[in-house]
């Protein structure tokens, strides 16, 4: 069993991040490093999901919104580029 955020899960994300075209593994790695790593990839994913057209996009966007609420309205750490975040 793989648990979200567990070392095994993050190892799998690292492997997937560099072997496929999806930015989602980078999203989990970014979150696991508290925004200190993979910010560029997380920004690109944010731009892709900003419209919230699919359940996947809405889920990922909701994580950012939760982080913004925790940060008193500031974008999540590592995503504070005003050209990317409204």
Confidence label for 86 from pLDDT (cuts 50, 70 and 90): very low
Do the beta carbons of residue 85 and residue 46 sit within 8 Å? Answer: yes
Q: Domain spans of the chain?
A: 7-70
* Entry field: residues in the chain: 86
Report the pLDDT averaged over residues 27-38. 85
pLDDT above 80 (res 46): yes
Helix and strand tally (H, E) in the chain?
A: 4, 0
High-pLDDT (> 90) share of the chain, %? 12
pLDDT digits (tens, 9 = 90+) for 49-79: 888 889 988 888 887 777 666 656 555 555 5
d(CA 58, CA 76): 16
Cα-to-chain-centroid distance, residue 22: 12
Do the beta carbons of residue 66 and residue 74 sit within 8 Å? Answer: no
């Amino acid at each position: 069993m793989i648990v979200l955020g567990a070392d095994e899960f993050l190892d799998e994300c690292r492997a997937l991040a560099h072997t496929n075209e999806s930015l989602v593994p980078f999203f989990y790695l970014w979150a696991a490093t508290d925004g200190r790593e993979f910010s560029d990839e997380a920004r690109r994913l944010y731009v892709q999901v900003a419209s919230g057209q699919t359940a996947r996009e809405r889920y990922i966007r909701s994580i950012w919104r939760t982080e913004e609420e925790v940060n008193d309205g500031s974008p999540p750490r590592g995503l504070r580029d005003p050209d990317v975040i409204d």
